[in-house]
Homo-oligomer: A and B are copies of this chain.
Amino acid sequence: MAFSFNVVKKDSATRARLGRLVTTHGVVETPAFMAVGTQGSVKALSPRDLREIGCQMILANTYHLYLRPGVEVIRDLGGLHCFMGWEGPILTDSGGYQVFSLGAFRKISEDGVRFQSHLDGSTHLLTPERVIEIQEDLGSDITMVLDECIPYPATRDYVCLSTERTVRWGRRSLEARRRSGQALFAIVQGGMYSDLRESCVKGLTQLPYDGFAVGGLGVGEGETLLSEMAGFVAGILPEDRPRYLMGVGRPQDLISAVQSGYDLFDCVLPTRNARNGTLFTSRGKLSIKRAEFSRDPRPLDESCHCYCCQHFSRAYLRHLYLAGEILAAILHTLHNLYFYNHLMKRLREAIREEGDELRILNSEWTKEERSP
């Protein structure tokens, strides 16, 4: 099935929109949050757990899978869906972000990026063409172009040079495609310079990408700048293509970005926090290690319908966490991802219904930290 995206409904008061993204492996209702399965596994959950808690699409990482187990292994075993037993849509990150955050001795040239593996120090060259080839072998539903994720802060000169190269790499990525049935998203860079973001968008939108991601945000620039820049870029991206805000973020960031017109999100926050004992609830964040929960018979969130909240008390979860039991990571991840998926569902319903729900969600999450 060919890739398609349709805006089903637009909110009248904000730029939020309800969308329907069709991929070879199924439909994704947007706005949607993708669970992060970096190494071909969403940490601590099985594919059936993911389906149960409403995950529509997962994100896997080209850089990590390329280094281990190797793309040939996955290709020969029938592609990533088959390899990891996930039949739903998969988006693969290009690996650009990981090369810059994990790869040692990286050297960027017009050709691509040379780096050393964080696993064994071996040297690799990733070019825009090679990254497409790898993602075609993985067989993901949405592939991403190789980009440079620019650190913050960065000089205007560097951001300008880097962003122009990312645009050129995008063109090479499009030309390198050999397989059908996979979408290709470009990545908007440009640092914190609106005019460079704008020229990047102009460069990218001249070509037939299936969607546009916004990268280089959430890299230390702070909440205000993140929100402003994300809002600015969303406003100049085409209406008819999906918009993906990469690596963001907290519940309040998602609520805000949906109202700026974003459709797709991914972030390690719910899964990583889960393993660290930090849980998201409808009344704010909760740290399960706190002594106050040692005899608390209540579930993490009394209004939550996940398996964890339907069967286990805070006292038990605290015990599991302090005892180092793997089940703590499992139940906490299940809950946090359920929470994120449920939040996205509420956002979709809010857009569909045009009631007070968007305003309610806004006010619920205006304060970052709330004690449950």
Contacts and interface: CB of A to CB of B under 8 A. Distances in A.
A68 B312 contact: no
Interface in A72-127: 73, 76-78, 83-85
Contact of A295 (B43, B73, B297, B313): B73
A330 B327 CA distance: 9
Nearest to A83: B316
A316 B82 CA distance: 10
Interface in A281-322: 294-295, 297, 307, 311-313, 315-316, 318-320, 322
Contacts of A323: 39-41, 68
Contact of A297 (B77, B85, B294, B320): B77
Given A73-B294, A294-B69, A325-B41, A48 B307 contact: yes
A273 to B, nearest CB: 15
A84 B316 contact: yes
Copies of this chain, whole number: 2
A228 B39 CA distance: 49
A343 interface: no
A41 B83 contact: no
A60 interface: no
Interface string A321-349: 01101110111000000000000000000
Contacts of A311: 47, 85
Interface residues of A, number: 38
B68 A316 contact: no
Given A69-B319, A76-B295, A44 B313 contact: no
Contact of A307 (B45, B46, B68): B46
Given A77-B295, A295-B73, A330-B330, A319 B40 contact: yes
Interface string A37-55: 0011101111110000000
Given A77-B295, A77-B315, A326-B326, 18 more contacts: A39-B325, A40-B316, A40-B323, A41-B320, A41-B323, A41-B325, A41-B326, A44-B326, A46-B327, A48-B307, A68-B323, A69-B315, A73-B294, A73-B319, A77-B313, A83-B313, A83-B315, A83-B319
Interface of A: 39-41, 43-48, 68-69, 73, 76-78, 83-85, 294-295, 297, 307, 311-313, 315-316, 318-320, 322-323, 325-327, 329-331
24 contacts: A39-B319, A39-B320, A39-B325, A41-B323, A41-B326, A41-B327, A46-B307, A47-B311, A48-B307, A68-B323, A69-B315, A69-B322, A73-B294, A73-B295, A73-B319, A76-B295, A77-B297, A77-B313, A83-B313, A83-B316, A85-B316, A326-B326, A326-B329, A330-B330
Q: 10 tightest CB-CB pairs across the interface, nearest first?
A: A44-B326, A69-B319, A85-B311, A41-B327, A39-B323, A41-B325, A83-B316, A85-B312, A77-B297, A77-B315
